[in-house]
Amino acid sequence: MPKPATNHKAELSKPTSEPLLPADSEDSALTVRLKHYLKPQDIAQVWEAYRYAFQAHEGVVRKTGEPYITHPVSVACILADLHMDVPTILAALLHDVVEDTLITTVDIKEKFGQQVAELVDGVTKLDKIEFQSASQAQAENFRKMLLAMSQDVRVILVKLADRLHNMQTLDAMRPEKQKLIAKETLDIYAPIANRLGLNAIYQALEDLSFQYLYPMRFNAISKAIMAARGNRKEVVSKILDSIKQQLGTFNIEAEVSGREKHLYSVYKKMTSKATPFSQVYDIYGFRVVVKDLPTCYLALGALHALYKPIPSKFKDYIAIPKANGYQSLHTTLFGPFGTPIEVQIRSTEMHNIADAGVAAHWLYKASDAQLTALQQQTHQWLQRLLDIQSESADSLDFLEHLKIDLFPDEVYVFTPKGTILALPKRATAVDFAYAVHSDIGNSCVAVRINHELAPLRSELHNGDHVEIITGSLAKPNPAWLNYVITGRARAHIRHFLKSQQSTESAHLGERMLNQALRALQVEPNQISDAHWQKLIRDYGVKKKSEILTDIGLGKRQNVMVAHQLLALTDDHLEKHTKLPATSLDTITIRGTEGMAVQFAPCCRPIPGDPILGFINKDKGLVIHTHDCPSVRKFKLDPDKWLDVEWEPESTRLFKTNLNLTVANQPGMLAKIASGIADAGSNIDNVSVEEADGSAYANLYFTVQVKNRIHLAELMRSLRKIPDVVRINRTKGNVAPTGRGASGKATSQ
């Protein structure tokens, strides 16, 4: 893919189809172009594709009245102007056959190979995407999505050439359709051409869109430029000669050229700066290309000696390059007759980079220039490939590196209403939910991706249609933090969990404080607000709930807070130094306390197990079984242990681990899973021990049960299954070195 050659700019501005001359004839427009850079055997391939497309579209006529084949031939001509490789030219000729005829991509693959089939398929998929929103942000996302969905850049190039020829023949459409297509072209396709450095296509798309969107303005500016061209022709010629002569006087070898702004560029400048046409100074500009960097400044000095510079119009992008690497000297001079003229001075190397349409050429003008260094590097690399392809007919190395996602760090997905959201790569459905609205994220329970139900942790891909299902009682799950990747989602989840934990911990802290107060023979309602206000000031906190939360999280001891409350008045202190303290009451565990009470994974206690509560700083109250090995470690700190007991009628399910030894036979896992379900239990996780050829295998389950009685009933029912040799409850993590049913290590 080369840079667009300037000598083809005029050809890109008008239709290139020649219906009266077959494309595979020696003198056709397509053949003449291909002869410049392709071998005869390659051109023979193109002729074969032309004849195939001709037969496929035979009898079909465009709205212009021309045979349909003139369209793909014109698209191929535009790409041949860019010296595109053979597969791209073939894809251009065949790009409509899959969508408009009975021919399939399989047929194209068999006839012309995998590469051409993939290109045609890519163009066909792009054609099916509709742009609906008129907002600028949505247009930008749509452009990026088109690029991201085209793993091969050549798909985009075929699409751009297709759009250019459609614009060149837009006269045949109804006026309202003309405006619709022109608006889409201006918003979507022209910027993509600009970003890829296809300047001739970019300018042609902009001018053609301008012509159909604003015909009166187009005609007015066209006439003004024509008049200016006639009036200034002699002036421009004189300036060009003067610059060349001045540089020669200073012994500076340079290529000097004049350029004319295209119509839409002039219009944009007039509207953005509210400038009349007469004050658009750079309709004509001059470019000076010298051999190296030092000569740039010599040339600048020579030109400033020739014409006086306008001080406010000088920019040195060589000494201070743009972030994207663009380098050049820009100066505006007072020319003859007071005509301001714009001059760009750069070295050959700088010119090659800028003129090829490298990222630097468009990034510094674009409104979204804040791209990462990686993205800038990617675009620069792409443009270097354009240069390589233009200089070499052998494109094997070039094609090997072409399969690239132009925006590797983003995916673009649709909301149910058709809005496009940009998310980081590997973003999940939960990230999407929070991107829509924090309330949607906080209450999401499921997701439909492309109209099919999927897990919330599913990664999203370009073009996915995503619909979040919410529940009125739903709330964020701490496990989401393991897979969300956007800062917005992570911040909202943490904020919600922190608020929830704070509320739950405050309730638990209040229960623990009341327990300590009653042990000191004081009812909680005997503590007045004045006592609390004094304690709040002493602790330097803002409200009572902060103290209660600290107690629930283990940051403050309930007994110490109780003593401090009672010590605030002399009479309480007197009273309670004389009364004997009683032992603390037992705290009842309901199992519904949420994050304030956690059940230790080392022993997985369930109702019916004798339990102890350990106050863990920052985690709150952690429940262990009496015989848990971890209890021995913590017994050295008895002040942090609390007596706890189960509430008799707990309704929630609790996790516990089971280890089964079974005959190593097909279907055993299914039988056991069915038995667990029949017993009214859920499977939370399952792992299988590594197979070693033995007649028996170990299965490790984490199941959910109501209490010890429910667990006993479950184990009895599993023992009745034939070929279950042994079953027992285990403590700790389930099968840490085992393998899941699918043969991969599993975890929850």
Catalytic residues: 99-100
Scanning the structure block, which residue is given the tokens 């860019």?
A: 82
The sheet with strand 641-646 has its strands ordered as: 587-589, 641-646, 611-616, 620-625, 597-599
Three-state DSSP class for 604?
A: coil
Kind and range of the H or E element at 139? helix 136-149
Rounded Cα–Cα distance for residues 433 and 467 (Å): 9
Q: Yes or no: say if 724 and 669 are a contact pair by the CB < 8 Å rule.
A: no
Token couple for 729? 């409850």
Rounded Cα–Cα distance for residues 639 and 614 (Å): 9
Rounded Cα–Cα distance for residues 273 and 251 (Å): 39
Tell which residue, 112, 192, 208, has the closest CA to residue 157.
192
Q: How far is CA 53 from each of CA 22, 69, 72, 98, rounded to the nearest angstrom?
A: 12, 7, 8, 10
Token couple for 78? 């535009």
> In terms of C-beta distances under 8 Å and separation of at least 24 residues, what long-range contacts does 572-577 make, across chains too?
572/522, 576/520, 576/521, 576/522
Q: How far is CA 521 from each of CA 528, 572, 585, 642, rounded to the nearest angstrom?
A: 16, 11, 11, 18
Kind and range of the H or E element at 682? strand 682-688
Q: What would the 3-class secondary structure string for 275-316 be?
A: CCHHHCHHHEEEEEEECCHHHHHHHHHHHHHHCCECHHHCEE
Tell which residue, 339, 333, 378, has the closest CA to residue 359.
378
Q: Yes or no: say if 677 and 627 are a contact pair by the CB < 8 Å rule.
A: no
Rounded Cα–Cα distance for residues 520 and 513 (Å): 11
Q: Yes or no: say if 57 and 101 are a contact pair by the CB < 8 Å rule.
A: yes
Q: How far is CA 497 from each of CA 247, 431, 489, 491, rounded to the nearest angstrom?
A: 71, 16, 12, 10
- As beta bridge partners, residue 424 has 410
Token couple for 137? 């942000």
Q: How many CB atoms lie within 10 A of CB 57?
A: 20
Token couple for 103? 């021919």
Q: Yes or no: say if 352 and 382 are a contact pair by the CB < 8 Å rule.
A: no
Token couple for 710? 């429910």
Rounded Cα–Cα distance for residues 181 and 173 (Å): 10
Query: CB under 8 Å to 463, separation ≥6 — which residues?
Result: 129, 145, 149, 412, 413, 414
Rounded Cα–Cα distance for residues 181 and 135 (Å): 16
Distance of CA 740 to the CA centre of its chain: 32
Q: Which residues of 185-223 are buried (b: 16+ CB within 10 A; e: fewer)?
A: bbbbbbbbbbbbbbbbbbbbbbbbbbbbbbeebbeebee
Rounded Cα–Cα distance for residues 320 and 190 (Å): 29
Rounded Cα–Cα distance for residues 97 and 55 (Å): 10
- As beta bridge partners, residue 615 has 621
Query: CB under 8 Å to 163, separation ≥6 — which residues?
Result: 185, 189, 205
Kind and range of the H or E element at 698? strand 696-705
Q: Which residues of 280-313 are buried (b: 16+ CB within 10 A; e: fewer)?
A: bbbbbbbbbbbeeeebbebbbebbeebbeeeeee
Rounded Cα–Cα distance for residues 85 and 124 (Å): 20
